[in-house]
Structure 1
Amino acid sequence: MVDVTAQLAQAAQRAQAAGLPYAGAVTPEEAHTLLNALHNAVLVDVRTQAEWNFVGGVPGAVCIEWKSFPGMQPNPDFLAQLHARVPSDAHVLFLCRSGARSHDAAIAATAAGYTQCYNVLEGFEGDRDAHGHRGALNGWQAAGLPWQQG
């Protein structure tokens, strides 16, 4: 059995060491464990509709764009959409392609009153490999965690 308290403490230590203004940073594997272990954990995928459709996503994730394709303009309704779909007392695990947009979303959600925000490090597709491809080096997909094609 996984010690969820220890995982959350490790996530908080990562955040503190990096000076992050939100509750913690988790690996994809840790995020998956927390989603299965905590009754109030929610995965929020902040990638674009195009990414969900063409790259795929995590079954059961709440999808709310942080920025919209093709211009990558910020979603002005992000926080309203988050409040409408995710309780403010939830453990909110933010996921994007590589961990950058989800970092920004975790900051915004924390500033808006969510106290348990976590960035999923490496994101869904992870970093580019030596050939410039994503999805094999690290991230949710490379970890072999559940996902489905869009």
Structure 2
Amino acid sequence: MMSADGSGLIACAEALQRLLIGKPNVSAHVGLDLSKLTASIVSLEAGFDRGYLKRSRKAHLPLLAQIEAVRNKTNKGFASGGNQLRQLEKKIVRLEEELARAQEQRDRVLMQNIKLWERVRELEKATIGKSSGNVRVLHYPD
């Protein structure tokens, strides 16, 4: 263990940097969610006990402020990300509703076209036997 002088603070600052870049020495800190970053995690990563970094030590305050800033920035990013996620979810719901309306409209138009097709075929069959020069039989592929 290092002493409570500047070398311990340097070790903690280096530990914080390792955590920020995702290359910690402590296996339990691999993949750490930075929104959960605490002074005790940084202390453990530096090789100290959980209570090494303290607010009562003036020399530790800048590092503690950095840790808090990282945590707050990460939490803020998650909050805005959560808001963005909710907006995207609402957009998906709107698009799904629009798709359902478009499919219903398509189905109605298809049904109308089928009915018209059937009516045209009926009329053609009815006029084949009649000798009207005004009616021409159209041949459609089946």
Normalising by structure 1, what TM-score?
Answer: 0.23
Q: Which has the larger radius of gyration?
A: 2
Which structure's residues are more often strand, by fraction?
A: 1
Q: Relative contact order: is structure 1 or structure 2 higher (C-alpha 8 Å, sep ≥ 6)?
A: 1
Which structure's residues are more often helix, by fraction?
A: 2
